Chains A and B, each alone.
Chain A
Amino acid sequence: MKYVATLDGTGHVVEVAGGDGRYRLTIGDDVWEVDARLTAQGIYSLLIGGVSYVADVVDREGTCLVDVGGEAYEVLVEEQTRWIIRTRGGAAGAGAGQTVRAPLPGKITHVAVRPGDRVQAGDTLVVIEAMKMENEFKAAAAGAITEVRVSVGQAVNPGDVMVVLE
């Protein structure tokens, strides 16, 4: 499972694997092997490399309040797809150069361009429906459309190339 944990305005991609009290979390380049026990309601015992931490976690209106080592943190945890929808649903979909890839799984509900079209930055390219929300993906910069690889009704997976610009 991939999550984005947002702390003080910065999103951190956190990948979690494992179960039964033993977990592997990947945060950026760091891998954390965690032995975790949920004890009394919201009081967690974490053993990380032999070091014992006790963290209090309470969910308040979608934000986790975490108290650990005398410090209090507010962490918003979302599944990565949901985070992408929330933060990038509008503008930056076509950010990475010439190739526009689907950042999340979903269904194409609208294709706004055809090969040969010229687009301006901010023009809508495609719309993906995911998690019951329509997400517009827009051109990050002006250019000419050379390829459209998706059509309405088609399911896409993260990484699928949707549109290629010149």
Chain B
Amino acid sequence: MRLKKLLVANRGEIAVRVIRACREQGIATVAVFSEADREALHVLMADEAYPIGPPPATESYLKIDTLVDVARRAGADAVHPGYGFLAENARFAEACVAAGLTFVGPPPAAIRAMGDKTSARKIARDMKVPMVPGTLEAIASDDEARTTAAQIGYPVMLKAAMGGGGKGMRLVRSESELAGALRAARSEAGAAFGDTSVYLERAVVEPRHVEIQVLADAHGGIVHLGERECSIQRRHQKLIEESPSPCVDAGLRARMGEAACRVAKAAGYVNAGTVEFLMDAERNFYFLEMNTRLQVEHPVTEMVTGIDLVREQLRIAAGEPLGYAQQDVTWKGWAIECRINAEDPFGGWLPSPGTITGLRAASGPGVREDSGAYEGYTVPRFYDTLMAKLIVWGADRATAIERMLRALGEYKVVGVRTTIPALERIIGHPDFRAGRLSTALLERILPGLRAHEGRHASIALIAAVLAEYARTRRAAPEAGLPEAGPSAWARAARPGARG
């Protein structure tokens, strides 16, 4: 079976990523868009695009019936869910299959088995994959939570059974915090996932977050593509990812990869998936959960393995065998990804929607940009703040770090605030450079993060005054600053140069 026309049930950079993979394989693409996304890049890039409703996702990108209907009417034969929205919704996968559409992702049963974190933990236990001590069932009452927490020992972590992305998660340091945290986690889980079930596990202090990418075909073939280090998180939201991990060697990679494949196989998994592990200071790893979709951070794996994950997803969905085995998978060099979010790192990390008046993305050797933005694009206020992902590859970690610093310095966004200046500070931090990573690292670095250290105060004054001077003179008949065309810019400027 060959896929001919695919509907991308998503938006933003991931929709663009999927469209690119389709185009390279001669698959026609159908975009969908909410009223807020008429001018979004994925709409501009797809072969066809259809409106699906008002801006709130619940009225557009989460409308299963609408999406299936659009796919059918556009004559699509496949649907790619991207990540987020309906990507891990078994009912959506079922609806696609029922409508005769190929769902580019795992079978609904596998989504269901892994989507409920308590059932996923049972599978991991049965497969003898190490797990953080905790409950295998959702917590029924406050009393049960108290008893169980006392048994496994504080600190404990409360997690939404249907959760993901850090929502519905609460660290509980002592019994006095338990009742309040339980209430908060339940209400957050209910709002985010429509299910208030939470479970409990021992909190690993300052853990690393390391995940394994797996690829499984429909013929029993399965490989892992090594790990991604995702410890750099702010409030459980990943900000920087890399592959390989500075704390994983070949032996550990093989053990973790083998464990991940065992879990995926037991769940009847097909297509690309990710098994997440926590790692303690002694490099013991514990099964956390399985994400039954493409991850935001998949490009770092692509950069070090040379395997195009979306292409593989499409091939697998079309019924093709992997065509290679574990020993054929090799890793080369080091890749780092930074998430460029429309957030103000110096203003409480609040979302910063608005129009991008100026944009110059980074490029050059070893640099990849997966973006959903362009100059003149207005970042809507309704969705995730992820605007673009900047990925670099280097022969080793030190090279990749220097390259990322160089690329971040080149990347200019005017009009909305972004995470770029914070990313530069984190990547350049001695702990990051030394590979001393943990999920607690940002909690230590960020409070000391200042908008500036005064290194360029005079230049800032000059630029601001010249901007005002130009404005004043534009109002007057004679012109202000000359506007350079692109060619003059290319000739005259060394972008990203610093003083």
Check if A and B associate.
yes
Q: Which residue of B lies closest to A38 (CB)?
A: B481
B498's partner among A16, A39, A53, A59 (CB-CB below 8 A) is A53
B465's partner among A25, A53, A72 (CB-CB below 8 A) is A25
B445-466 contact mask (Cβ, 8 Å, vs A): 1 or 0? 0000001111111111111111
The majority secondary structure among interface residues of chain A is strand
A69 to B456, CA, bound (A): 7
**Closest chain A CB from B331 CB (angstroms):** 31
A71's partner among B408, B451, B470 (CB-CB below 8 A) is B451
Please, could you name 16 A-B residue pairs with CB atoms under 8 Å apart, sorted by A?
Answer: A3-B468, A19-B478, A21-B481, A21-B482, A23-B469, A27-B458, A30-B458, A41-B414, A43-B358, A44-B466, A45-B484, A48-B462, A67-B421, A70-B424, A72-B421, A73-B456
**Closest chain B CB from A13 CB (angstroms):** 10
Most buried by B among A5, A59, A69: A69
Chain B residues whose C-beta falls within 8 Å of the C-beta of A53 in the assembled complex: 456, 459, 463, 497-499
* A110-152 contacts to B (CB < 8 Å): none
CB of A64 within 8 A of CB of B498, answer: no
A83 to B451, CA, bound (A): 25
Q: How large is the interface on A (under 10, 10 to 19, 20 to 34, 35 or more residues)?
A: 35 or more
The verdict on B489 contacting chain A, using a C-beta distance below 8 Å, is yes
Q: Which residue of B lies closest to A65 (CB)?
A: B417
Q: How large is the interface on B (under 10, 10 to 19, 20 to 34, 35 or more residues)?
A: 35 or more
CB of B465 within 8 A of CB of A39, answer: no
Q: Which residue of A lies closest to B471 (CB)?
A: A59
Chain B residues whose C-beta falls within 8 Å of the C-beta of A41 in the assembled complex: 357-358, 375, 414-415
Chain B residues whose C-beta falls within 8 Å of the C-beta of A58 in the assembled complex: 357-358, 414-415
CB of B358 within 8 A of CB of A42, answer: yes
The verdict on B473 contacting chain A, using a C-beta distance below 8 Å, is yes
**Closest chain A CB from B459 CB (angstroms):** 5
A77 to B469, CA, bound (A): 9
Most buried by A among B421, B455, B481, B494: B481
CB of B358 within 8 A of CB of A73, answer: no
The verdict on A104 contacting chain B, using a C-beta distance below 8 Å, is no
Chain B residues whose C-beta falls within 8 Å of the C-beta of A102 in the assembled complex: none
